Structure 1
Amino acid sequence: MGSGPVVLLLHGLGCDHTTWAPVMESLARTHTVIAPDLLGHGASDKPRADYSVGGYANGMRDLLTVLGVDSATVVGHSFGGGVAMQFAYQYPERTERLVLVGSGGLGPDVSPAIRAITTPGFHQLMGVLTAPGLRHVTTATMRLLARSRMPQARDLGEVADIYDSFKDPRTRAAIRHVVRAVVDWRGQIVTMSDRAYLTEAMPMCVIWGADDMVIPVSHASNASALAPSARIEVVPNAGHFPHRDHPERFVKIVRDFMRSTDPSRYDRERWRQLLDDGARVPPVQAEAGESPLAPVHSVRRASSA
């Protein structure tokens, strides 16, 4: 909807494009807004397919191509933030700016509920837990608690929608494939820590709810350490869905960020130089056996010999 510079909105795990409903019309007053249901979510197909973040990035490239869009500001929430980062990494020439909202990929921590999706028997157990009677009682209870305004319960309305969607076996299977690609029992396994230095060539804004119970707000500090040029916005009295908790504030942050930054212009030589120089890993990010502040390419770079 709308017209003007393009904004691509990527929802989180188990959600669909309706998560952006509180902000789409407002953004569309000044921008062209594209909000798809990612593969395996919402009304999109749920095939046995590639549910990796790279696969999703390819899908968004194809979507923009079909729509005749050359480049966009990419806004990603939660898992969609991981897809947005991957898209920017794979297709810098098509990414004008990057906005990450309560994003995955900025640290290992994640809620136990998401880790549970990776466990054996999840598919069968959710089949039982989403039987009509139990599902209706559980979702109604979650929505009632969400209206209590307790910080710990503020996200339960959206969680109830996700839980309700698990009644579809195809959705459960797709979400399980997605989570297994990015999470194991220790937490998140996909990280931007060895690629964040590439944001030197791309404007980035990070938005987080101060009361996020799904991915800790401390990950916003991780983003600041990994990408010092990034703009960090922590929204008070907001949980994992700041765009739903405070839509007007969210739109203002995004609009001000876009107004105050120039779109990234892909420079192949500059990108090549950044890749060749590599990143320097902060001490808290260094893996066992690596020296602090070691160039990433010295341990992860593929040999060209």
Structure 2
Amino acid sequence: MSATQPPSTPGRPTSGSATPKLRPVSDTDVRIEYHTIHGYRRAYRIAGHGPALLLIHGIGDNSSTWKEIIPMLAQRYTVIAPDLLGHGRSDKPRADYSVPAFANGMRDLLVVLGITKVTVVGHSLGGGVAMQFCYQFPRFVERLVLVAAGGVTREVNPALRLVTLPGVSDALTLLRIPGVMPTLNGIARTLVSLPHVPGVPTGISPRRALNDHEDLLRVLGDLTDPHASAAFVRTLRAVVDWRGQAVTMLDRCYLTERLPILFVWGEFDTVIPYDHALIGHAAIPHSELATFDGAGHFPFHDDPERFVQVVTGFLERTTPVVFDPQNWRYLMSTGGARAEEFVGDEQTVGAVLEAMENERSAT
């Protein structure tokens, strides 16, 4: 562990130098720009000056998900927030929507922009893309921030597993029928107002059980576009099947030995369970973990100011890694992660070993 990076306590945010309260700059400083790369138009938001931050959104989402935090981060950093291919304002061709392909797209955009070093911040699927980017293009990466990231273990929201089944994905076409989305919004508001949601264990409030409903309905609303819907299904099937998430980053986490890493997770994430934060943190002993109490899958929406303070604090107290090809070769030659290096209680370490045994990255 770097001497500049304090140890963390699983499940709680690490302490560090105090970060002053940030005042958002004008929204006009955030620009939406486009580049055509390999024949496809790529959209991205960009703002600020200074060291580069690459913000990667989740499946079905787009760069607007970061709109509250970009102006605050842009006071100190150059912030690049792309719309992944098939998402947002980027083109939506019949193309490769695998995690490695998305990582390639991030590399290509950075090359076009002339940026050679970045801290990568990935949310949900974007966390999996961020980890893959670090593996494929380590020379670009200075630090890594994983926000409710996919690609830790198999477990994921059952609805996502269901959509991967043959024929079920066709039901997404129902979203295009007038009145369907307003009806779904109304049902969600009604359930949240109930004292108890049927099928949810007693003691869990409706708001907690439906913590992420507003953001998930927002994402569903974007899938009324048939091209966006098709890209969503292709992307989902690349990473999830009926059993859950199909790949894990844990078999290669040993390669992050010198890379500063921060996990950020909501306590009540209904998409990717909070346990994944503990497992990832256990598998990467030098990592830090910031828990957002009461938050769901979008902690940067629940408390954007605190999210920015956590991220900027991490950036300030850690030293950017400089890629060392000899060290990379040594790490790969030694055979990977060893169980005795994991941290956490017996149950958490057991979960790491089980994930590494049952799920493997094929790329």
* TM-score normalised per structure 2: 0.76
Structure 1 residue 301: Cα displacement: 11
1:47 has 2:104 as partner: no
Q: Are 1:9 and 1:36, in contact at CA under 8 Å, matched by a contact in 2?
A: yes
Indicate the residue corresponding to 2:242 in structure 1.
185
Indicate the residue corresponding to 2:184 in structure 1.
138
1:154-184 C-alpha deviation (Å, 9 max, x unpaired)? 3111111111111111111111111111111
Change in Cα spacing, 1:5 to 1:132, as seen in structure 2 (3 Å) is same
1:68-79 → structure 2 map (5 Å cutoff): 68-79=114-125
- The residue type equivalent to 2:288 in the other structure is R
Indicate the residue corresponding to 1:200 in structure 2.
257
Q: Are 2:251 and 2:356, in contact at CA under 8 Å, matched by a contact in 1?
A: no
**Secondary structure of the residue that 1:35 maps to in structure 2?**
strand
Structure 1 residue 143: Cα displacement: 6.0
Indicate the residue corresponding to 1:176 in structure 2.
233
Q: Are 1:11 and 1:76, in contact at CA under 8 Å, matched by a contact in 2?
A: yes
Unpaired runs of 5+ in structure 1? 291-298
- The residue type equivalent to 2:54 in the other structure is L
1:12 has 2:58 as partner: yes
1:210-268 C-alpha deviation (Å, 9 max, x unpaired)? 01111110111111121011101111111000000010110011000000111110001
Indicate the residue corresponding to 2:78 in structure 1.
32
CA distance in structure 1 between the partners assigned to 2:57 and 2:63 by the alignment: 6
Change in Cα spacing, 1:200 to 1:289, as seen in structure 2 (3 Å) is closer
1:211 has 2:257 as partner: no
Indicate the residue corresponding to 1:162 in structure 2.
219
Indicate the residue corresponding to 2:316 in structure 1.
259
CA distance in structure 2 between the partners assigned to 1:19 and 1:146 by the alignment: 23
Q: Are 1:71 and 1:94, in contact at CA under 8 Å, matched by a contact in 2?
A: yes
**Secondary structure of the residue that 1:50 maps to in structure 2?**
coil
CA distance in structure 2 between the partners assigned to 1:57 and 1:83 by the alignment: 6
CA distance in structure 1 between the partners assigned to 2:296 and 2:166 by the alignment: 29
**Secondary structure of the residue that 2:251 maps to in structure 1?**
coil
- The residue type equivalent to 1:230 in the other structure is S
Taking CA–CA contacts closer than 8 Å with sequence separation of 6 or more, which of the two structures ends up with the larger relative contact order?
2
CA distance in structure 1 between the partners assigned to 2:170 and 2:246 by the alignment: 25
CA distance in structure 2 between the partners assigned to 1:74 and 1:289 by the alignment: 24
Structure 1 residue 138: Cα displacement: 1.3
Q: Are 1:143 and 1:157, in contact at CA under 8 Å, matched by a contact in 2?
A: no
CA distance in structure 2 between the partners assigned to 1:301 and 1:152 by the alignment: 34
Please tell me the root mean square deviation across aligned C-alpha atoms, in Å.
Answer: 2.3
Unpaired runs of 5+ in structure 2? 1-46, 195-205, 340-349
Structure 1 residue 129: Cα displacement: 3.8
1:226 has 2:272 as partner: no
Q: Are 2:252 and 2:337, in contact at CA under 8 Å, matched by a contact in 1?
A: no
Structure 1 residue 280: Cα displacement: 3.0
Q: Are 2:258 and 2:321, in contact at CA under 8 Å, matched by a contact in 1?
A: yes
- The residue type equivalent to 1:189 in the other structure is A
1:150 has 2:196 as partner: no
CA distance in structure 1 between the partners assigned to 2:234 and 2:120 by the alignment: 24
User: Across the two proteins, how many residue pairs are aligned to each other?
Assistant: 294
Structure 1 residue 147: Cα displacement: 8.9
Give the stretch that moved more between structures: 277-286 or 234-243.
277-286
Give the stretch that moved more between structures: 261-270 or 134-143.
134-143
Change in Cα spacing, 1:109 to 1:274, as seen in structure 2 (3 Å) is same
Q: Are 2:279 and 2:352, in contact at CA under 8 Å, matched by a contact in 1?
A: no
1:93 has 2:150 as partner: no
- The residue type equivalent to 2:48 in the other structure is G
Q: Are 1:143 and 1:160, in contact at CA under 8 Å, matched by a contact in 2?
A: no
Change in Cα spacing, 1:287 to 1:240, as seen in structure 2 (3 Å) is closer
More helix by percentage: 1
Query: Which one of 141, 147, 151 corresponds to residue 105 of structure 1?
Result: 151
- The residue type equivalent to 2:268 in the other structure is D
Structure 1 residue 300: Cα displacement: 9.7
**Secondary structure of the residue that 1:150 maps to in structure 2?**
helix
Q: Are 2:248 and 2:356, in contact at CA under 8 Å, matched by a contact in 1?
A: no
- The residue type equivalent to 2:53 in the other structure is V
Change in Cα spacing, 1:218 to 1:268, as seen in structure 2 (3 Å) is same
**Secondary structure of the residue that 1:195 maps to in structure 2?**
helix
Structure 1 residue 142: Cα displacement: 3.5
CA distance in structure 2 between the partners assigned to 1:123 and 1:214 by the alignment: 18
Structure 1 residue 153: Cα displacement: 2.2
Give the stretch that moved more between structures: 138-147 or 158-167.
138-147
CA distance in structure 2 between the partners assigned to 1:289 and 1:84 by the alignment: 19
Change in Cα spacing, 1:8 to 1:250, as seen in structure 2 (3 Å) is same
